[in-house]
Structure 1
């Protein structure tokens, strides 16, 4: 399936997972310092929340461009160009002297950081055949899913003991390290682009398309399929719940539990641990269900049409309905709304912080379990356009997360955290 060795593929997964950490880490790392930034820039909380929402909107729009281009010109050039943009924007954020400049730099920062989310899934689809793809994508999504959680943990200490601007200097340094690693160690993986470059004739390879090369609206084409739309809606609703919870925590925990900026950051660890376990377990479970159904198909075929030993046709993972990857959603779909509901009322009733953290852990576990399995399903059904379909997935969930991060605060101010998260749980 690929010329890369197992060791090389593992390294690429590790590198891309690290690169995938950058975008979500950048979205939340400065959350604990919002009050400090508001005072320093003499602005309102609404304008500061807009820096979060604008970033998420950028993360929703840009991958549709990056993903489409990567399916045309290859993965490697997109990584390099986007990380150069990201590093320059981080420097701009650190040097911002007003809310207007910070808003502009945050938008540019999101445009640069968001490429890996879509293009990374495409790279792994290039490297791993279907029977091992779920596990690989599960490890890849670890970076993207723990970023929103460990960001505030790191940012809380950086803001309290250094300065909020140092959060962006640290992100610029991280982006520079990732860029150097990509330039030196990451090869081109797009199977069609590599085959065309070296005039290699390969079977079952989607050639690079020229007709839609620069059409950023191409990912929206796939919304005509109901199974794509319904899957993406499920992922988006879960992601929106995560951001509603994450953006509410700094103010709520400081008010209810009297926590310092750094200690508020530490509370995100519980959900982060759940995210890691859920992402890896979800990918492995999706692969397990595919293998189990394949074995069941083989037994049914043998029973229906007995063959002599060695004559029975082999059933491969490619023959298994891709919808088997969605089984994890059936088992865990109840966990996220239940946790959102309990989280809101625990805060509302000023219950012990330990109980809140336990609920956050299980929310992270359920959300990423489903996210990993559903995302792998989308890649499986559109293997030749894996980066494009992942861009669509990322765009819709990021835009919904932006909406949730904006509306959570005024809703909670009006009706309290209990009823606010009851509404999110119903969604």
Structure 2
């Protein structure tokens, strides 16, 4: 649980310089409107960065991604503390956003790695407490620093704080990504190892210890998960997160979560300017005005975790044959997880949106400061509690890639929030605070049937998604099998053709030899025949000569 507890610390610093907007504008010689654009660009990158770090964390592991994100954040804070022009402030705030918000998806992913659905609500509440309370309470620290040490001290504070987080994390926090270490039984390797484990292994090597026992232990551990394969590293693809956002079930939750986030962000981003204009507060007083909102956020984050776990067990008891397994996790394929999570949401959304409308009109009428501060507590309790519940549901629906799913949620809500912060001051100037806040509350209320549709049809949509994935898997295997059979058939035909060619060659060779031997025999036979004929002719001539000689003797006898 160390990583989920460390992640909120970066969101504690997200809005830390809200009370210093006016001093920064005066120091750099620009308007407050231009300084507000740094909030917009910050949120743009706050949406983009988790899509990269989330995908990278699912591939390489949580540790490398977290260390890289925090290192970027540290360097950005050094630059922000030393810069002295508006362009540098704008660019470095974007870099700072990329580093800090990159840890968001990783925090929720670690919760998914180490918890089951039956107890996930409580741990998600711990992460949500820091993420939601941080932006509300950090202006208090920012106000103190800006008031007494100057606005540059804010970024030096962020630098020191992030270094204090990174060092113990790199030394001791283990890897949790299931694609890397499975259920914890597969030992981490390389950059997924903690620095203490790495140093311990090097000391053993230097001392010349026999590593046979360690190797046997590693083999025993790996044998428990023989099918575990490490993902191949590639450049992080943000489009994977966008694909999650367009999924029918998860996409609707992300959409409504983003609408609730608009209510959250416009309340936080306008508090500084509104309270300075209406009540004339200084930087420290403005920072203190965030405390009721932060208290509501904290109470919601802790309470919603226990509420979700209770509601999960309550619905599980109603399902015949379903038992909660806190060690191995539950099979949610036929469990109405959408109804278990969304059930408590209707009350919180209704009360939170009503408080939002009242908050806008209270600022319009400018009564005592106690009224808007009390309404801030209610908004923090109900609205942040609502999208904390929806964050838990998003992780439940994406067990195979929770970091990517959280990144998709963060991308959509931050881009919508960036657009809202860019125009909110103009809208307040044109419509007034009351109607402006009412418009955003009504927008969320009109879209509330999304929650009912998700609770009603979510389990059906998940079944359709599984069937589609299974068909795709079967088609892929069939295609691979056909390709294998075609390859074997082609190889067989090639071998057969080769054998056939070799046989023909041997037949031709044998036929050639047989033909050559027959010719020789015929030639020999002809030669013998000619020789015999010559011999016979020779004998015939000799016989004829003998007969002629006999006849001559008979005709002319020799004298005695």
Separation in structure 2 between the aligned mates of residue 205 and residue 358 of structure 1, nearest angstrom: 55
Aligned counterpart in structure 1 of residue 433 of structure 2, from 409, 417, 420: 417
Secondary structure of 1:131 counterpart = coil
Relative to the length of structure 1, the TM-score reads 0.89
Asked whether the equivalents of residues 294 and 377 of structure 2 are also in contact (C-alpha less than 8 Å), the reply is yes
- CA distance 1:130–1:336, change in 2 (3 Å): same
- CA distance 1:275–1:139, change in 2 (3 Å): same
Asked whether the equivalents of residues 154 and 265 of structure 1 are also in contact (C-alpha less than 8 Å), the reply is yes
- Offset from partner CA, 1:405-424 (integer Å, 9 cap, x none): 11111111122211111112
Query: In the alignment, which residue of structure 1 is the partner of 2:383?
Result: 367
Query: In the alignment, which residue of structure 1 is the partner of 2:24?
Result: 37
- Offset from partner CA, 1:302-349 (integer Å, 9 cap, x none): xxxxxxxxxxx7465434322111212222121222122111110110
Separation in structure 2 between the aligned mates of residue 252 and residue 321 of structure 1, nearest angstrom: 43
Aligned counterpart in structure 1 of residue 341 of structure 2, from 301, 313, 325: 325
Separation in structure 2 between the aligned mates of residue 395 and residue 31 of structure 1, nearest angstrom: 22
Aligned counterpart in structure 1 of residue 5 of structure 2, from 12, 17, 21: 17
Q: Which has the larger radius of gyration?
A: 2
> How much has 1:201 moved relative to structure 2?
5.2
> How much has 1:176 moved relative to structure 2?
0.5
Q: Which has the higher contact order (CA 8 A, sep 6+)?
A: 1
Separation in structure 1 between the aligned mates of residue 442 and residue 229 of structure 2, nearest angstrom: 43
> How much has 1:18 moved relative to structure 2?
3.1
Secondary structure of 1:407 counterpart = helix
- CA distance 1:201–1:359, change in 2 (3 Å): farther
The question of 1:264 aligning with 2:286 is answered yes
- Offset from partner CA, 1:330-380 (integer Å, 9 cap, x none): 221212221221111101101111111111001011122212211111111
- Offset from partner CA, 1:217-263 (integer Å, 9 cap, x none): 11111123222121111211121211111121112111212222101
Asked whether the equivalents of residues 53 and 236 of structure 2 are also in contact (C-alpha less than 8 Å), the reply is no
How many pairs does the alignment contain?
Answer: 401
Separation in structure 2 between the aligned mates of residue 204 and residue 385 of structure 1, nearest angstrom: 21
- CA distance 1:407–1:374, change in 2 (3 Å): same
Relative to the length of structure 2, the TM-score reads 0.69
Separation in structure 1 between the aligned mates of residue 416 and residue 223 of structure 2, nearest angstrom: 42
Which segment drifts farther, 95-104 or 198-207?
A: 198-207
Separation in structure 1 between the aligned mates of residue 74 and residue 235 of structure 2, nearest angstrom: 26
The gaps in structure 1 that reach 5 residues or longer are 1-8, 302-312
The gaps in structure 2 that reach 5 residues or longer are 189-217, 444-560
How do 1:206-285 residues align onto structure 2 when only pairs under 5 Å count?
208-210=230-232, 214-285=236-307
- CA distance 1:242–1:224, change in 2 (3 Å): closer
Separation in structure 1 between the aligned mates of residue 109 and residue 229 of structure 2, nearest angstrom: 14
Separation in structure 1 between the aligned mates of residue 405 and residue 113 of structure 2, nearest angstrom: 14
- CA distance 1:201–1:288, change in 2 (3 Å): farther
- Offset from partner CA, 1:271-322 (integer Å, 9 cap, x none): 1011011111112211111110111113xx5xxxxxxxxxxx7465434322
> How much has 1:26 moved relative to structure 2?
3.1
- Offset from partner CA, 1:373-413 (integer Å, 9 cap, x none): 11111111111201110111111111122122111111111
Separation in structure 1 between the aligned mates of residue 284 and residue 400 of structure 2, nearest angstrom: 45
> How much has 1:207 moved relative to structure 2?
5.3
Please give the root-mean-square deviation of Cα atoms over the aligned residues, in Å: 2.0
Query: In the alignment, which residue of structure 2 is the partner of 1:82?
Result: 69
Which segment drifts farther, 315-324 or 156-165?
A: 315-324
Separation in structure 1 between the aligned mates of residue 383 and residue 377 of structure 2, nearest angstrom: 10
Separation in structure 1 between the aligned mates of residue 430 and residue 377 of structure 2, nearest angstrom: 27
How do 1:40-189 residues align onto structure 2 when only pairs under 5 Å count?
40-189=27-176
- CA distance 1:343–1:193, change in 2 (3 Å): same
> How much has 1:212 moved relative to structure 2?
6.8
Secondary structure of 1:214 counterpart = coil
Separation in structure 2 between the aligned mates of residue 134 and residue 351 of structure 1, nearest angstrom: 38
> How much has 1:44 moved relative to structure 2?
1.9
Which segment drifts farther, 416-425 or 201-210?
A: 201-210
- CA distance 1:292–1:85, change in 2 (3 Å): same
- CA distance 1:335–1:72, change in 2 (3 Å): same
Secondary structure of 2:237 counterpart = coil
Separation in structure 2 between the aligned mates of residue 332 and residue 339 of structure 1, nearest angstrom: 11
Separation in structure 1 between the aligned mates of residue 261 and residue 79 of structure 2, nearest angstrom: 28
The question of 1:386 aligning with 2:408 is answered no
- CA distance 1:19–1:225, change in 2 (3 Å): closer
Secondary structure of 2:274 counterpart = helix
Query: In the alignment, which residue of structure 2 is the partner of 1:305?
Result: none
Aligned counterpart in structure 2 of residue 348 of structure 1, from 364, 386, 396: 364
Secondary structure of 2:84 counterpart = coil
Secondary structure of 1:130 counterpart = coil
Asked whether the equivalents of residues 19 and 287 of structure 2 are also in contact (C-alpha less than 8 Å), the reply is yes
Secondary structure of 1:380 counterpart = helix
Q: Which runs of 4+ in 1 moved over 4 A?
A: 196-199, 201-208, 313-317
- Offset from partner CA, 1:150-193 (integer Å, 9 cap, x none): 11111111111110011111011111111112111211111221
